[in-house]
Structure 1
Amino acid sequence: MVFGRTGQVATELARRAPEARFLGRDVADLMDPAACAAAIRAQRPDAVINAAAWTAVDKAEADEAAATVVNGEAPAAMARACADLGIPFLHVSTDYVFAGEGEAPFRPEDPVAPLGAYGRSKLKGEEGVRAAGGAHLILRTSWVFSAHGANFVKTMLRLGREREALNVVADQHGGPTPAAAIADALLSAAAQMAAGAPGGTHHFSGAPDTTWADFAAAIMEQAGLSCRIDRIATADYPTPARRPLNSRLDCSALEAAFAIPRPDWRQGLAEVVKELTV
């Protein structure tokens, strides 16, 4: 069972596991955590993946209460239902649970210190999933992109066709992650957990680490666009929510536990650009 139907990761999961039951807002609204838990108890699936979330980082600053219900209380309710049924629960989280200080990649066990409402709401979800006491996987990821929904790649492609130059921040570092690779990782981990593999909290992001500006330049190059990328500082592009300067994630524990390596985002980008330009 997958919570989410139209988001980036859910769309890629549907491509790979069409036999799964996908629950959209019309069936299981994450603003109603009890209904989400009831759906799990009624269907009794082999495993549950939560690919739904409040992802509007800036809007979360204006409505933290709602973001916390969706990102915090709903996953906790799902995890409790899964724990009661003895089935694995897999949950997608984010690098925003960290403050983004320093330059070293964050390890799963490093101290968390979210900078804003979105990160706090996602951290509350992580805490609720762990507290449920069942078999679970919390998969923190970053800079998700695909040919679906709203994301950085699609925005850059649209603006790159319209403008001669774009200002893009060059002092935020992280790993762009194809939604397709996240879907593959979740399905692989779910199968292994169903066979008894332990879960836990893990990191998964694309390699190599880069900056938004360099990512944008790669997008223009792969799409054959002549738009120039001008590098600016985060301070020159203010947003309601503070962004972490360091979103690098140490993914070695996931590879050791599940034999899932970091994906090369450049290959994923080529596939997305091809899909969008066909």
Structure 2
Amino acid sequence: MGRPARIALVLCLPGMLAAGLADATNYTLWIHGRNGGGAIGNYNDFAYFGPAATAAGVNKKAVNWDGKSGVASQSGTIRSALDCFCTGNNWCYVAVHSAGDMLMGYTLANYGGSQRPVTNAQPNTAGVCGAGGGTQTGWNIKWVRVAAGSAGGSELADIGAWAVSDEIARQHKVTTARALYNHNDTRNVWFYMYAGARGTLYSFALPGQDDEVVAYHSAGAASGGGGSSLCNPGDWFCNDLTLGSGPNQGGRAKWAFHSVEFRDDGEDYGHYTGRTWGGVTSLVRRDMEALAR
């Protein structure tokens, strides 16, 4: 290469690097829980969570599914969103609520090692993005933050408190939920758990501390094939749910790559969003706004 060509290359290099950096974008994906609320394929419809204008992380996208079908049938919707925004040079932060925990866990365990298309991050009306060139293994996910996670099931499903026929409710029976997929296989993506304890109506059916829908054993990612009674410190009749990724008091381990970020010692936060970004979801929204950049 002659001297003029080398000079031209040096002069062009900053612009080339800037163009490459411009192509890299971070997104924040929000996956809702049971019963739905937003239009499938519309990544701007945050009806389940609250006003779309509320800050909730960089380039936030609502990943809507039907809220009633089983995880196997709805995982395709999650995969489409991950393919859209979390491939190529793009990276994602993911926030999930309630059954969204089960959907995300199932999708990573079963498809996180598969070949995914690198897309152009431009979805059509069905929420599917066009080809951007090439493939990659799995998705680019920085971490997942979980509000009131129900991947460990709920005793409300066991006792029939949800008198409905939808498949996602049946999959929430505690032993069913815990056998549904390999909860330890997150493809090395960390799940940060936020567990609420403002339970009242169904506390008689839920062991230990609960947020009215899920007990600490689920919201706190306690491992094993069945539920357990876990509480806040100071309860003499119940082992503590511990912060972090270590085992709980009494020795019950957490799923691999799961860590309790928030435990509701003041019993202030319930399960439901109220379509106002409320409940324990408010804490995840706060942290996504601060950390998902």
TM-score norm. by structure 1 comes to: 0.32
* Structure exhibiting the larger radius of gyration computed from Cα positions: 2
* Greater RCO, 1 or 2 (C-alpha within 8 Å, sep 6+): 1
TM-score norm. by structure 2 comes to: 0.30
